[in-house]
């Protein structure tokens, strides 16, 4: 039996077998905590700022060395450079030195913990996981303060990279041709480690508990990006088994990639559009390579994060026009700003909301800050002249919000018209359906917009009242909860009765077990991470609408999640018996805590 079998969150599929090499371990365990005498504080403050400057210089050099394979991640290093220049983190650390007399490393750790507490209160998983950027920057400064150094040149051949956390800069220093897979202690589903791994086409796991205690440099390890397992020093039998699985997975990947440019059409001729969710313009290559028929969700928040000033209309328009022009004639759906807490846009000061998830965010935040909103609307309108652009509003809870948002859009159009700036006057307008209130009034909202986009991640959380990142209640996060399924069907029916299209852009869209149900409901399009598109297209092409409708009928008659999950799993095992081992699914939790 293997020395250890660890589990983590799979963020890039595949199987890799090789020697482990640790880039960094948790140096926080040895963080020096000392009280500094008042006469020594100026020197400690100087040491703090010198460490920030040293890391900034190092990253600037690394930024210039980004290889072609990781070109799209250069902007992530730019983000880290902006954070180093932003006085917010260094200033908060300095205050802890002067007010409490903490040494520089301890003061920085305290400042980071304060920011982590603020991020933890955010509902949106994607935004919450951006805290990783703050943490990786702070860790680099801490290694300077503590005099820790990792010699990356010690990797003599290809290796499986292990780390407490990884940054794009770490990857550049490592040389991509030596990396077989990643495994980190930190990180979530949207972490940069996963994005980098998918770009390189290698498996990766994040959030691996006991990684630093259970694996040593040079250990033979198996990274299973399909089931989320790490096998440490496997037996010969386990090794042979995984070698066979790896070969089968490579064959499967080649097969689905060969046909990924074909349309997603069922056996009996029903066509479903398959789009991609992206946050960076640099991801369009992955969208096209994987057969994406457009961008169903472009998250516009990235341009607003980790900076001290708001982006200008020209800055936004430049990015938006690039995206629209590159993807044309394919569709691009821009979601307007889905931020809320001013902790991410320091221009607006502190709000100190007790419950930010239900507070001033998304469309509410934009309507309260019309100049910011109009700047973005004008930029999106300008992009509409260069491609097939649609726009949608997030977190809509009522008809009045839609009408207010459309009024600002009309004003932006009028201004551009007076200025002689081109835009598409018929640009489709949609709304996201992610709140139970929006579901219940879908028939009213459908007459206000041109399309719906169902955001299942939020809809599930708000409908069931569960935070899936809370380990005490995460077992309740059930994508196929009867309430969720009825909510989606209600929205689809309302949209079609009003003659508008409905899309779905949550994680459910990329779950092979769930897709047949969505087809049975009559969803017009689904949108997902680009890398999931070839597999989902294959499932759609291998099924027919009659079976999907029968499955939906059976599912809607079920009263428990367990019964629904069993029906759905039986369906997949029946139709894809040889491929099912390569599928990853959200349907892995029971309804009851273990």
Find, among 138, 142, 114, the residue nearest to 47 by Cα: 142
Tokens of 133: 């950027």
Collapsed DSSP state (helix, strand, coil) of residue 521: helix
Collapsed DSSP state (helix, strand, coil) of residue 274: strand
In the numeric block, the tokens 């708001």 are attached to 310
Q: Does the pLDDT of residue 138 top 90, yes or no?
A: no
The alpha carbon of 206 is separated from its chain's Cα centroid by a whole number of angstroms, namely 13
Residues 6 or more apart whose Cβ sits within 8 Å of residue 63: 74, 77, 78, 81, 169
- Decide if 4-21+154-252 and 40-146 have a common fold: no
Phi-psi region of 185 (alpha: psi -120 to 50; beta: other; left: phi over 0): alpha
Q: Which of 49-53, 138-142, 365-369, 437-441 has the lowest mean pLDDT?
A: 138-142
* Global confidence as pTM: 0.74
Does 130 appear as a known binding residue? no
Q: Which of 87-96, 330-339, 393-402 has the lowest mean pLDDT?
A: 87-96
Find, among 255, 152, 242, the residue nearest to 203 by Cα: 242
- Residues paired with residue 174 on neighbouring β-strands, in sequence order: none
* Superfamily designation of domain 260-581: Phosphoenolpyruvate-binding domains (3.20.20.60)
Most confident of 192-201, 254-263, 385-394: 385-394
Tokens of 395: 């977190």
In the numeric block, the tokens 């386990």 are attached to 238
> Rounded CA gap, 305 and 44, in Å?
29
> Rounded CA gap, 483 and 491, in Å?
12
Does 401 appear as a known binding residue? no
Collapsed DSSP state (helix, strand, coil) of residue 290: coil
Torsion of CA 66, 69, 70, 72, to 10 degrees: 110
User: Domain 4-21+154-252, what architecture?
Assistant: 3-Layer(bba) Sandwich (3.50)
Does 299 appear as a known binding residue? yes
> Rounded CA gap, 461 and 131, in Å?
21
Distances in Å between the alpha carbon of 194 and those of 102, 134, 185, 384, 458? 35, 17, 13, 31, 21
pLDDT band at 343 (very low <50, low <70, confident <90, very high): very low
Percent of the chain clearing pLDDT 90 (strictly above): 48
Does 289 appear as a known binding residue? no
Q: Does the pLDDT of residue 263 top 60, yes or no?
A: yes
| Beta strand segments in 164-263, E | 179-184, 204-206, 220-224, 229-232
What is the 8-class DSSP label of residue 340? Answer: -
- CB count in 10 Å sphere of residue 257: 16
Q: Which of 124-138, 257-271, 448-462, 473-487 has the lowest mean pLDDT?
A: 124-138
Active site residues: 192, 505
Does 364 appear as a known binding residue? no
40-146 CATH, one of 1.10.10.10, 1.10.274.10, 3.40.50.300, 3.40.50.720: 1.10.274.10
Does 468 appear as a known binding residue? yes
Side-chain half-sphere exposure of 518, counting CA atoms within 13 A: 29
Segment holding 97, helix H or strand E: helix 87-100
Q: Could you tell me if 243 and 17 are in contact, meaning their C-beta atoms sit under 8 angstroms apart?
A: yes
Tokens of 163: 């780390």
> Rounded CA gap, 63 and 84, in Å?
14
Q: Does the pLDDT of residue 592 top 50, yes or no?
A: no
Please give the radius of gyration of the chain, using alpha carbons only, rounded to the nearest integer: 24
Percent of the chain clearing pLDDT 70 (strictly above): 86
Q: What is the pLDDT of residue 593?
A: 46
Q: What is the pLDDT of residue 6?
A: 93
pLDDT band at 500 (very low <50, low <70, confident <90, very high): very high
Q: Where are the alpha helices (DSSP H) in 259-312?
A: 284-289
> Rounded CA gap, 310 and 529, in Å?
28
> Rounded CA gap, 130 and 137, in Å?
12
Q: What is the pLDDT of residue 274?
A: 97
- Provide the residue ranges of all domains of the chain, joining segments of one domain with +: 4-21+154-252, 40-146, 260-581
What is the 8-class DSSP label of residue 304? Answer: G
Q: Strand 15-24 to strand 9-12: parallel, antiparallel, or no bridges (unpaired)?
A: unpaired
In the numeric block, the tokens 């018209």 are attached to 417
């Amino acid at each position: 039996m293997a020395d250890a079998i660890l589990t983590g969150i799979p963020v890039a599929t595949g199987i890799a077998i090789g020697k482990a090499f640790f880039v960094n371990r948790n140096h926080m365990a040895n963080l020096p905590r000392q009280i500094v005498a008042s006469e020594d504080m100026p020197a400690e403050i100087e040491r703090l700022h010198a460490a920030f400057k040293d890391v900034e210089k190092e990253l600037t050099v690394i930024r210039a060395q980004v290889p072609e394979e990781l070109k799209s991640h250069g902007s992530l290093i730019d983000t880290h450079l902006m954070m180093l220049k932003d006085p917010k983190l260094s200033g908060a650390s300095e205050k802890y030195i002067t007010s409490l007399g903490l040494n520089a490393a301890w003061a920085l750790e305290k400042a980071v913990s304060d920011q982590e507490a603020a991020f933890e209160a955010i509902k949106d998983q994607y935004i919450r996981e951006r805290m990783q950027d703050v943490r990786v920057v702070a860790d680099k400064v801490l290694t300077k303060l503590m005099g820790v150094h990792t010699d990356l040149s010690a990797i003599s051949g290809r290796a499986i990279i292990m780390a407490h956390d990884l940054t794009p800069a770490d990857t550049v220093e490592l040389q991509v041709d030596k990396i077989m897979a990643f495994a980190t202690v930190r990180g979530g589903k949207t972490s940069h480690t996963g994005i980098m791994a998918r770009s390189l086409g290698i498996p990766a796991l994040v959030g691996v508990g006991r990684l630093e205690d259970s694996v040593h440099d040079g250990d033979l390890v198996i990274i299973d990006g399909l089931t989320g397992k790490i096998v440490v020093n496997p037996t010969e039998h386990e090794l042979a088994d995984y070698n066979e699985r790896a070969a089968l997975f490579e064959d499967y990947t080649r097969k689905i990639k060969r046909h990924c440019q074909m349309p997603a059409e069922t056996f009996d001729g029903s066509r479903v559009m398959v789009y991609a969710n992206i946050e960076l313009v640099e991801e369009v290559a992955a969208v096209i390579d994987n057969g994406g028929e457009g961008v169903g969700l472009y998250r516009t928040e990235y341009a607003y994060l980790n900076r001290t000033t708001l982006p200008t209309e020209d800055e936004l328009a430049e990015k938006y026009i690039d995206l629209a022009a590159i993807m044309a004639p394919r569709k691009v759906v821009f979601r307007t700003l889905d931020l809320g807490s001013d902790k991410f846009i320091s221009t607006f000061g502190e709000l100190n909301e007790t419950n930010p998830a239900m507070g001033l965010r998304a469309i509410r935040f934009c309507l309260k800050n019309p100049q910011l909103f109009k700047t973005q609307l004008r930029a999106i309108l300008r992009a509409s002249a260069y491609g097939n652009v649609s726009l949608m509003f997030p977190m809509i809870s009522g008809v009045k919000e839609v009408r207010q948002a459309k009024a600002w859009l009309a004003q932006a159009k009028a201004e551009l018209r007076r200025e002689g700036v081109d835009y598409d006057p018929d640009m489709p307008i949609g709304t996201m359906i992610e709140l139970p209130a929006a579901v219940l009034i879908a028939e009213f909202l459908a007459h206000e917009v041109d399309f719906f986009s169902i955001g299942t991640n939020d809809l599930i959380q708000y409908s069931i009242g569960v935070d899936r990142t809370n380990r005490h209640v995460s077992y309740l996060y059930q994508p196929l909860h009867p309430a969720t399924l009825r909510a989606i069907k209600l929205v689809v029916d309302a949209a079609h009765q009003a003659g508008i299209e409905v899309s779905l852009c949550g994680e459910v869209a990329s779950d092979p077990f769930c897709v047949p149900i969505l087809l049975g409901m009559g969803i017009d399009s689904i949108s997902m991470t680009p890398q999931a598109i070839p597999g989902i297209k294959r499932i759609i092409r291998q099924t027919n609408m009659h079976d999907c409708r029968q499955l939906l009928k059976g599912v809607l008659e079920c009263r428990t999640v367990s019964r629904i999950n069993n029906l759905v799993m039986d369906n997949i095992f029946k139709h894809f018996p040889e491929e099912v081992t390569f599928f990853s699914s959200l349907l892995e939790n029971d309804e009851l805590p273990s």
